[in-house]
Chain A
Amino acid sequence: MTQLHADDLTLAYERRVVAEDLSVEIPDESFTVIVGPNACGKSTLLRALARLLRPRDGTVYLDGAPISALPPKRLARRLGLLPQSPLTPEGITVADLVARGRYPHQGLLRQWSREDETAVADALAAVGVADLADRVVDELSGGQRQRVWLALVLAQETGVMLLDEPTTYLDIAHQIEVLDLCARLHEEGRTLVAVLHDLNHACRYATHLIAMRGGEVLAAGPPAEIVTADLVERVFGLPCRVVPCPETATPMVVPADRRRARALTADTL
């Protein structure tokens, strides 16, 4: 059994059931990426893994114990989450925001230990924003802001990090910057689970891919083994070709040109 896995989850909001009998395993020390069309339940699954959503049925296990039984702070010392759209308090500085990642390690009489200090300094350095420590977060660019938020989750010092669409709203250069950073955090020995929209990014960075549709896992495994034109068609309903990426040799999805297909059909008539 892996460190983090979910058994037979039924996930639902109010009356809408998102997934039934959903089981996933997150391989230890993997960079797992969950992909799938909109509303396939991928973010919902991530929320359940982070205990932000209580499953109607089934259990999420962390290190062999159901996460529902863990006290909030203890869970937060082992599993961190970067939500899709966190709020940045107005006027907060980079150092202050990242320091809030230490909350699960603190208490009424343990407000700022030396470990807190080191963890925040290390996190700021790891994401390359140490020189911005005293800047106000609102004034930073989108890419910098996302790195600051990653530093907050890093300062939490958890073995598992969950990231809900960490590249949304960023331009291509910043997307790659954030994903490169995630890859490095993974190489340093952390287990990362991310929801990503871009299938090519997922194939390029993931060591383990989970493809979902309609609340079900259609395929799971290393991208090179599972990503085929057939799978993409089944998951996204998109006709495509899968070719090796010229840069990384990972699978690259090239959507079929429907205009050309139309033109060809017209020619043959």
Chain B
Amino acid sequence: MRVMRAGAVSLRWEPRTAAVCGTLALVAAGAAVLVVGSGEFPISPPDVVRAVVGQGDRATEFIVTTLRLPRALTGLLAGLALGLSGAIFQSVSRNPLGSPDLIGFTTGSATGALLQILVFGGGAVAITVSSVAGAVLTALAVYAVAYRRGSGVQGVRLVLIGVAAAAMLEALNSYLITRAELREAYEAAFWLTGSLNGRDWSQAVPLAIALAVLVPAALALARPLGMGELGDDAARALGVPVQRTRALLTVAGVGLVAAATAAAGPVPFVALAAPQLARRLTRRPGAQLLPAALTGAALLVPADLISLHLPVAMPVGVVTGVLGGVYLAWLLSTTGRKGTA
């Protein structure tokens, strides 16, 4: 731990955490540059950077800023949002499986989008709104069922009810697809795996606005959130408004996952894996919000890069799904062996 002091002001930071955050940011940004450079008309990384800062030639600049940059940015921001919301929910539920993609929030978001695509036939904006509504309604329903007077929402109850909700919504999603026309079903299925194909500024901008509000709000609550890991009684005895912190962060977490899913589809496993990886990378106990957010971006953007270079076009969700599945199995087997959750 390092401390910087000046008068009454004192700030502390961990050199390792800072180094990890810097590296993750570089990996994510580097991969984003390569994503922008990839396609039928390859652009070298220096040309990409020149175009982004407005120093490139017009054709390149058009391809970069109009066609490809929104995709890379959406991936970057969705990764940040998923990693951060995963860290929030895993800490609030005190359970590594309390991740929004396992407890139904992303599935609910997908249900909202599917209903819009298949039943109401709305456009891009309508799909975004419906998918946000789907996530929020699912979160409300899961919390309402998990809530117990006196004890509030307990982690294990939240996970079990969330998993049940996810299963039901999954079934509903499948049913909606079987009822759909072939072309629509294809569009829906593609959306369901989580994809960054064809993202334009209409996805990237709302996501950026959501993050500009929610990320600082969540990071400001990181310290009281970490205190909650001592148990409610100990945290409250130390002056932490436990219920209020948890409620505010839950709202921020639902907002983040809803915004990310609306923009990129229900990309699996980033929210689950990023917080765990961040903890192992920083070697710090408890929730590491900023490192988890950066890990999310450093997972999602390279996964998108891989999906772009596969011989068959694949949505990014397939890549993160495969990586995440292996990771989940490993996580379950190691936590099972140690006898802790």
Contacts and interface: CB of A to CB of B under 8 A. Distances in A.
A81 B237 contact: yes
Contacts of A162: 237
B12 interface: yes
Contacts of A113: 5, 8, 10
Interface stretch (B40-48, B157-165, B187-195, B225-233): B225-233
Contact of A89 (B238, B241, B285): B285
**Which of B8, B236, B239, B340: most chain A Cβ within 10 A?**
B239
Interface stretch (A31-39, A70-78, A183-191, A249-257): A70-78
Given A72-B239, A76-B237, A83-B233, A91 B285 contact: yes
A61 B335 CA distance: 45
Looking at chain B, what size class is its interface with the partner chain?
A: 20 to 34
A104 B239 CA distance: 6
A47 B150 CA distance: 14
Contact of A110 (B10, B94, B231): B10
A241 to B, nearest CB: 38
B286 interface: yes
Contact of A76 (B1, B238, B340): B238
A86 B231 contact: yes
Contacts of A110: 8-10
Contacts of B233: 47, 52, 81, 83-84, 86
Interface in B25-79: none
Contacts of B231: 83, 85-87
Interface residues of A, number: 42
Contacts of B19: none
B10 A90 contact: no
B249 to A, nearest CB: 16
A44 interface: no
Contacts of A4: none
Interface stretch (A95-103, A197-205, A223-231): A95-103
Contacts of B239: 72-77, 103-104
A96 B94 CA distance: 19
A112 interface: yes
Contact of B12 (A82, A84, A87, A112): A112
Nearest to B280: A91
A100 B9 contact: no
Contacts of B3: 111-112
B237 A96 contact: no
B183 interface: no
Given A14-B150, A87-B229, A96-B285, A103 B240 contact: yes
A260 interface: no
B11 A100 contact: no
**Which of B150, B234, B238: most chain A Cβ within 10 A?**
B238
A32 B3 CA distance: 39
A51 B220 CA distance: 25
Nearest to A97: B230
A103 B227 contact: yes
Contacts of A100: 226-227, 230, 238
A109 interface: yes
A169 interface: no
B283 to A, nearest CB: 8
A90 B285 contact: yes
Contacts of A86: 230-231, 233-234
A244 B24 CA distance: 67
B149 interface: yes
Contacts of B10: 109-114, 116
B237 A50 contact: yes
Contacts of A13: 150
Nearest to A138: B340
Given A76-B237, A83-B234, A87-B234, 5 more contacts: A89-B285, A96-B285, A103-B227, A109-B11, A111-B10
13 contacts: A51-B236, A74-B239, A76-B238, A84-B233, A90-B340, A91-B283, A91-B285, A103-B223, A103-B239, A106-B223, A110-B9, A113-B8, A156-B238
Interface of A: 13-14, 47, 50-52, 72-77, 79-92, 96, 100-101, 103-104, 106, 108-114, 116, 156, 162
7 closest A-B pairs by CB: A76-B239, A81-B237, A83-B233, A73-B239, A104-B239, A87-B231, A92-B285
